[in-house]
Structure 1
Amino acid sequence: MQLPVNLALDLGTTSLAGRLLDQAGRCLAEGQVPNRQAKYGADVLRRLEAARAGNGASLQSILVDCVNELVDGLLQSAGSDANSIQTAAAAANPAISLLFQNRPVDSLLVPPYKPADCSAVHVAADEVGLQLSCPVYLFPLINGFVGGDLVAFLFGQPSPKTPTLFVDVGTNGEIALFVDGQWWVTSVAAGPAFEGGEIGSGMLYGPGAIMGVKVQGDRFVLDVVTGQPPAGVCGSGLAEAVAVAIDAGLIDRHGSIVSPGAVESNLSRYLVPHGDGFAISLYRDAHKQILIEQKDVRNFQLAKAAVHAGVECLLQKAAVETSDIAEVVLTGAFGFSLSKEALKKVALLPANMVDRVRFEPGGALAGVSKMLWQEDGRMQVEALAKKLKPYPLSGSPEFEKAFVAAIDF
């Protein structure tokens, strides 16, 4: 007879992560798969528009198939079967949460951009096509732009000092500030670059992904997941490649890839003709070439500027100075493998905050896992969600001004 296990899920815009836990909360298996809803668009807005146009059932079916694939892989790794899963819980941003249930999405596309019901729900597995014998507890939402994934991230953390900033870096960048016993939260549309999406040689973090780039002498040294031959570049690899390229003079402060003649070192040999300009060649063999193209740098700039501006605006709203922040907790697509030097060079955050960064891998998944093994976990999660005060940024003049100012490196 197989022992009962619990299933934790983080349903992201670009990728889905999962974890199987025993009754003591120990991890038995962990994994991730791409979110193939990307065929309808890399960002949630395009997917919401596709759902409103009549593709909601298709978007749900794709997502459920991805979850089933993920769960099947976890069960195989743990030597278990679906009947052994006793409880399951998932966290997602508002758009993915509604698409998972195939609920109407109009409320997220028109003011005031808030679902009719933000409460936690139990999703019956057989009603959506999940290959499970138990329902899935879906974390509560805060409003139309802050979801259960941020609630899960915050729930998984120890009691914060004041003031502490929490940043979940992903396609939908979510930001929270804890100060004087109050929670302020917001989100920004960062786009998929942080997760390797819409990047020419981009891929999710996994075997073969370039996750780090350093300079030794006059050459690039690549840090590749599992030490395999490079297959592409994930979010942290993109950020570090951009950082070292800025240091080496291959990219200027405005984000333009320069010509080889403008570079004084032998690192100029990594610049190769591409389109109307140049690209940075990270790796080449007989079968493939891994490039950082100009459009990749631009996509990264848009993503990092959105997060930087979101942080500045949230702090301004709460009347907190960057120098006052006791700690910055960074999670998401690339946080755990990105150096603080690269973080500072690409200006993802205000420079004087970087030394106070603590990286927390898999923050949302850790929070879902914690909820599953705590007896009153659901009650605690729902109590926390009620304390989060949302601050919408979309379209605000303050955000637009801060965003433009944060584009350069």
Structure 2
Amino acid sequence: MQQRITINLNTDSKTTDKTTILEYCRSHGIAGIETPCGGKGTCGKCKVTVTKPYYKDVLACRTRICDGMEIIVGRKESTGTKEDSMVVLTNGGNVSEKFNEHVNRNVVLKEETVNESEKVESNAGTLAACDIGTTTVVCYLIDKETGQIISTRSSANPQRSFGADVLSRIEAAGRIEASSEPGLKIMQTQIVSLLNGFISEMLTECGRTKVSRFSVAGNTVMCHLLMGISPEKLGKAPFMPDEYFGREFNPLDIGIENCQTMIIFPAVSGFVGGDITAGMMETVNRNELTLYLDIGTNGEMALGKGDRYVCCATAAGPAFEGAQIELGMPASKGAVDKVWLEGRRIKYSVIGNDRPVGLCGSGLIDALAVLLKAGIIDENGTILSGQELPILFRSYVFEVEAEDAAQSTETSLAVHIAPGVYITQEDIRKLQLAKGAIAAGIEVLFKEYGCTPCNIDVFTFAGGFGNYIDKASAAAIGLFPQELLDRAKEVGNAAGNGAVSAALSQEAWERALDISSNMRYIELASYPHFDEMYVEHMNF
């Protein structure tokens, strides 16, 4: 949704004429600006419209404000309808009930559960759970007696204005912003304010007064930012966190209101966090050899069963979520989310059935698979041209203007996917880097556990991206071995569901602690021959 902002330097002590539009929006809690690069001026996606004292689309991270400036923030395509918001996976199928026979993950609508004459005054009967992702945040309110989720809230993570990936936020946490506040403090305030708003809204909606137990799952960096702990050590070798969590905290210490106690899931390492232990606790059967894969802004994976697990995290970057891709975007209205071949034509679908404006992660995976199948790209990922290109698809390939391919070091070719939407050679290279890192990480886990893809009982896809991508397309581009395709299943927001289970059940919480203590982390940066494996898996 668009917002109109007017700058008044005379009444705003936080702002000077050296402040950029992006810095102003960060310090004033104004969302709606995409900054995958963290405000470095390299992604070109933080465009806003200045309407006074001049009319121009500008980069928010590179444009300083002035007194009386009027700015429009938000996509022009926005119509203010629900379809404009990012698609956030709040719940998923195949939810475990192994820890509490009364757990019911069906969200009960307000009118079915709340009666003014039957308001619940007991704090002990109300629980809450939250999954803090790098990209999105989901929060649940739970009735302890019935195990029902009685309200849900979700949104984009407001910290995205500091960058799409955890490394950008680690860097930002150590900076002093234009408002003279540390980046760490601003990001903590952003997430605490969001959670307070969610909890307050849900309590009011359901006629409750307070949460007795608040269960939080998130990656290691997100949990550091929530607690106001510097993640600086996670940005340099040996990447050891200051806090591994896995214990109880006082929510009032960080300003979380209306909650008596808070538990945060245990991290295994700096880059395999509590969201992975929560998801595995919720979905992994101790008796089945399981490969657990969570591809989001980061690429975490684990392999094992019983009391033995190995895990790693890959530097996949945010490319699969549309960041750092020229026409990439989150899964929101106008995003091409599916691409397929139909005869000699490339077909596509768009979220919201609207005009296509970009490609989200699932659309990017499909597009790569289609280009490979059609012979538009070769096994090295190079867009073919001239006589090398199949005659049926020559009309799809075109040369990009130099200004649109400023980052490219190769021939500036691109492929039309939908009207006004295309994928460039540079985009393909970035996606190859991401998929190569994940595929190489999977190979390392097999080596370290001493098994092969044929030994796997279950291949679990967790998270929003894993829930929506076409598994056949992912296998076709080599994201994972083809042998695993018939064992692949999506489990939705496993981390969020795990957080709900731990709020309800002490047994679930103890199982998460047990998994984290029995998991061995493999640091890929120092793993022998990982670079060679990585390069090999970049090809198709």
TM class, shorter-chain normalised? 0.7 to 0.9
Distance 1:234 1:88, change over 3 A: farther
CA distance in 1, matches of 2:244, 2:535: 32
Give the match for residue 75 of structure 1.
202
1:57 CA drift (Å): 1.0
Q: Is 1:397 aligned with 2:518?
A: no
CA distance in 2, matches of 1:257, 1:129: 52
Distance 1:249 1:85, change over 3 A: farther
Bigger share in helix: 1
Task: Name the SS for the 2:270 alignment partner.
Answer: coil
**Alpha-carbon contact 1:282-1:292 (below 8 Å) kept:** yes
Give the match for residue 10 of structure 1.
131
Q: Is 1:326 aligned with 2:457?
A: yes
Give the match for residue 379 of structure 1.
510
Distance 1:406 1:365, change over 3 A: same
Give the match for residue 219 of structure 1.
345
Q: Is 1:56 aligned with 2:184?
A: yes
Q: Which amino acid aligns with 1:45?
A: L
Give the match for residue 401 of structure 2.
275
Q: Is 1:244 aligned with 2:360?
A: no
1:248 CA drift (Å): 1.2
Task: Name the SS for the 1:156 alignment partner.
Answer: helix
Give the match for residue 146 of structure 1.
272
Q: Which amino acid aligns with 1:94?
A: T
Task: Name the SS for the 1:142 alignment partner.
Answer: coil
Give the match for residue 147 of structure 2.
25
Which deviates more, 234-243 or 373-382?
373-382
TM-score for both structures, normalised by structure 1: 0.88
Give the match for residue 49 of structure 2.
none
CA distance in 2, matches of 1:231, 1:19: 32
Q: Which amino acid aligns with 2:326?
A: G
Q: Is 1:43 aligned with 2:183?
A: no
CA distance in 2, matches of 1:194, 1:123: 34
Task: Name the SS for the 1:306 alignment partner.
Answer: helix
CA distance in 2, matches of 1:68, 1:251: 49
CA distance in 2, matches of 1:220, 1:20: 43
Q: Where does structure 1 lack aligned partners over 5 or more consecutive residues?
A: none
| CA deviation profile, 1:50-108 (whole Å, cap 9, x unmatched) | 32345211222233344456667x739x9447845443222111111111111132432
CA distance in 1, matches of 2:394, 2:261: 56
CA distance in 2, matches of 1:42, 1:318: 32
CA distance in 2, matches of 1:226, 1:397: 46
Provide the aligned C-alpha RMSD in A: 2.8
Q: Give 1:288-307 correspondences, 5 Å limit.
A: 289-307=420-438
- Kindly indicate whether structure 1 or structure 2 has the higher relative contact order, using CA contacts under 8 Å at least 6 residues apart: 1
1:321 CA drift (Å): 1.8
Q: Give 1:91-106 correspondences, 5 Å limit.
A: 91-106=217-232
Task: Name the SS for the 1:397 alignment partner.
Answer: coil
Which deviates more, 342-351 or 29-38?
29-38
Distance 1:92 1:82, change over 3 A: farther
Task: Name the SS for the 1:376 alignment partner.
Answer: helix
Distance 1:85 1:59, change over 3 A: same
TM-score for both structures, normalised by structure 2: 0.68
Aligned length: 403
Picking from 235, 251, 263, the partner of 2:389 is 263
Q: Which amino acid aligns with 2:492?
A: P
Which deviates more, 304-313 or 9-18?
9-18
Q: Give 1:85-234 correspondences, 5 Å limit.
A: 85-130=211-256, 132-179=258-305, 181-234=307-360
Q: Which amino acid aligns with 1:252?
A: D
CA distance in 2, matches of 1:343, 1:196: 16
| CA deviation profile, 1:365-397 (whole Å, cap 9, x unmatched) | 121122222253323322332222222222323
Q: Give 1:332-347 correspondences, 5 Å limit.
A: 332-347=463-478
**Alpha-carbon contact 1:64-1:129 (below 8 Å) kept:** yes
Distance 1:270 1:63, change over 3 A: farther
Q: Where does structure 2 lack aligned partners over 5 or more consecutive residues?
A: 1-115, 176-181, 403-411
**Alpha-carbon contact 2:289-2:304 (below 8 Å) kept:** yes
**Alpha-carbon contact 1:20-1:27 (below 8 Å) kept:** yes
CA distance in 1, matches of 2:345, 2:258: 50
Q: Which amino acid aligns with 2:293?
A: V
**Alpha-carbon contact 2:287-2:306 (below 8 Å) kept:** no
Distance 1:239 1:109, change over 3 A: same
CA distance in 2, matches of 1:265, 1:370: 55
1:273 CA drift (Å): 3.1
Task: Name the SS for the 1:254 alignment partner.
Answer: coil
Distance 1:28 1:218, change over 3 A: farther
CA distance in 2, matches of 1:170, 1:33: 15
Distance 1:26 1:222, change over 3 A: farther
Task: Name the SS for the 2:524 alignment partner.
Answer: coil
Task: Name the SS for the 1:364 alignment partner.
Answer: helix
Distance 1:211 1:351, change over 3 A: same
Q: Which amino acid aligns with 1:331?
A: A
Q: Which amino acid aligns with 2:400?
A: H
Q: Which amino acid aligns with 1:26?
A: Q
Structure index of larger Rg: 2
Q: Which amino acid aligns with 1:281?
A: H
CA distance in 1, matches of 2:459, 2:484: 7
